[in-house]
Chains A and B, each alone.
Chain A
């Protein structure tokens, strides 16, 4: 590819991808829980997206990009925080047995957070205590305000799974949050 064509391609890519930089960063920041790591992951994701750009066709650019950001985050988690992904298989266990167990483990964190009522970040911390697959649906739904179809698109699971993950995330958050706010 000659230089003009490369520059055109980059310019087109930037027009498609850069408007979603804040959304990309937000998702990466919630999944990595760290500013510097989020920046690294987002930059890596943009490079990946740039390399994939030829396969991008007209469509929802935000979902396309967030899908790549999310994949990059999970690769990063697998390399750097593998323990966070251990319970992944249990998340959508239809029997709910394993899931209940891992949710229980997470609620242990939640209870220690509840001790600190004055902490302004406590809702952040409750969300961060969720396992990544539950955390990301809450972030995509409540903070990015994506619909079920888009969340399914980004996370690569059926809409029914999106709904059940949202429900479980909300149930866990309310256990920590409602109790704390009842006068």
Chain B
């Protein structure tokens, strides 16, 4: 039988689940039959329960995550070798469009910071799609194949548009994540360039906006209850031809 002198120093390790089976069993036996150790064990347990029940469980503020990501990006781009080389241009000169649907209120693009955070994520998603060679989940130039594929996978329904006649054939569709939520991405090709079209719920602002970031240009505009984000590192001419063709077909 365990003595109090052996039991006492082990009470906290017991509470903390740090004892092995044999020690735990021996200590439990002792506690059950000891009028001195039982209340001590109970008091420790109560303190733990009280702390877990009423001490503050701090959680990171929502903005901190995007602040950190932006700071990391600034930090990374502090290096002088940041300029894109010709190899990069050949691989990924590209256009991306993010389409924002005007529905739920949770996605409201209410300020520059949030818009910037989404712009960052859109660029990241675009890069991941190129770098991981995971352009499409469904590879098809048929809008009647691509559009229904998204059904049930996301609440957001992208317009099915093939711009092959305008020089931007539909490559396929992909489910991606923006702000932790699944969003459809339509993938186009423009010569050597890849075009992604992301579908997001809409934000505020009726005026088209342009954001420059990391060598990309993002275009954001609304149309009906759709908002579009266009991202490109292609030539301004090609970018504007694509935007024009897409907007004409989507309206």
Contacts and interface: CB of A to CB of B under 8 A. Distances in A.
A29 B64 contact: no
Interface in A7-42: 7-11, 13-14, 18, 21-22, 24-26, 29-30, 35, 38-39, 42
A30 B58 contact: yes
Interface residues of B, number: 46
B12 interface: yes
Interface in B122-136: 124, 127-128, 131
B79 A6 contact: yes
Which residue, B16, B57, B60, B76, has most C-beta atoms of chain A within 10 A?
A: B60
Interface residues of A, number: 49
Contact of B50 (A50, A120, A123): A123
Interface string B160-199: 0000000000000000000000000000000000000000
Interface stretch (A84-92, A94-102, A103-111, A139-147): A139-147
A65 B17 CA distance: 24
Given A4-B88, A10-B76, A148-B16, A177 B82 contact: no
Main SS of the interface on chain A? helix
A78 interface: no
Interface of B: 12-13, 16-18, 43-44, 46-48, 50-52, 54-61, 64-65, 67-69, 71-73, 75-77, 79, 81-85, 87-88, 91, 124, 127-128, 131, 214
Interface of A: 1-4, 6-11, 13-14, 18, 21-22, 24-26, 29-30, 35, 38-39, 42-43, 46-47, 50-51, 120-121, 123-124, 127, 138, 141-143, 147-148, 163, 166-167, 170, 173-174, 177-178, 181
